[in-house]
Amino acid sequence: MPELKQNSVERTLCIPLWSRAIAVKKLPQILPDEDAVRILREMGERRPPSVFYHLQCAALAGAIRQYDFACEIKDYLEIHPNATVVELGAGLSCLRRQMKIDTNPWINVDFPDVIACREKYIPCGKNEKNVISDITDHRWFNSVPFKADNGIVFLAAGVLHYLTKESVMELTDAMADRFPGGLFVFDFVSARGAEAGNHQIKTTKNDTKITFSMENAETELPGYSRRLCRVVQRSYLEGYPVEGVRYSPITRAYIRSKRNKYFVVHAEFHKESEQ
């Protein structure tokens, strides 16, 4: 099988797959993603983008976000067992398959070329649906099954970084209004994290730029919408402890270097009766 073209959509989407695939062996305690291994093989990808991906800390960087989000979903489903799950900017996330969730409605929202890749490599489950849309075009709301009594959780992994603050505010407020009682889980970077991230992106000769950051979501995010009722910020790498895992000295140093830069947010929407 020929290698993927350097600037192809598939090549771009396979980059985070490498972290999750390598983590299957290096960090099996963190929600192993066997699908990532399979997809890379089917793509004909034999080597990660750099030798850095072979380090435990690189595997952690990719795998831990799936684990963080899985913890949030699990906690929400304990209270709302029939909730809908929506991945915004889903890419080639295999989280539904990692968590073995087959009964809950699961919606993946992304651009047309990305959804085409999903449909090529990740078969939809019984209650799963792919929706083609820019997440800032709120018409995708109409494709999401929702009953307030059942609940809903939205996930945005590595997505909001590339939006404007205004777009994030509009999206958060609109979702909170349309889906009362829901939960929004996303990751974000601080200004220092954005600066470091943009420097790293620049070295890849990529025109993409991180445009959204916060310093403290618990104080800043409530200003985005009066419909938010509980905002909790946790460390991206340490906020959801993993049992039985041992990190190398390099990985521990990596974690320390990211403590004030990378975070996960849990933001709840008021129920209709509370608004």
pLDDT digits (tens, 9 = 90+) for 32-53: 999 999 999 999 888 887 888 8
* Longest pairwise C-alpha distance within the chain: 57
Whether the pLDDT of residue 4 is over 90: the answer is no
- Tell me the C-alpha to C-alpha distance, in Å, between residue 183 and each of 80, 82, 133, 189, 232: 11, 14, 21, 20, 11
d(CA 51, CA 29): 22
- ∠ CA 170-139-225, nearest 5°, is 20
Hey, how many other C-beta atoms are within 10 angstroms of the C-beta on 259?
A: 12
Tens of pLDDT, residue by residue over 192-248, are 887 776 666 565 555 678 889 999 999 999 999 999 999 999 999 999 999 999 999
| 0.85 surpassed by pTM | yes
What is the reported pLDDT for 274?
60
Contacts of residue 254, defined as CB under 8 A and 6 or more positions apart, other chains included, come to 57, 60, 61
Give the pairing of strands 183-189 and 262-269.
antiparallel
What is the reported pLDDT for 49?
77
d(CA 214, CA 97): 31
Kindly report the CATH number that applies to the domain delimited by 80-274. 3.40.50.150
Return the higher-pLDDT residue of 162 and 209: 162
d(CA 36, CA 51): 18
Mean pLDDT of all residues in 122-138? 96
What is the reported pLDDT for 201?
59
Helix segments in 80-224, DSSP class H = 95-99, 112-121, 165-178, 191-203, 217-220
What is the reported pLDDT for 64?
96
Give the pairing of strands 128-132 and 152-156.
unpaired
Q: Provide Rg for the chain, Cα atoms.
A: 18
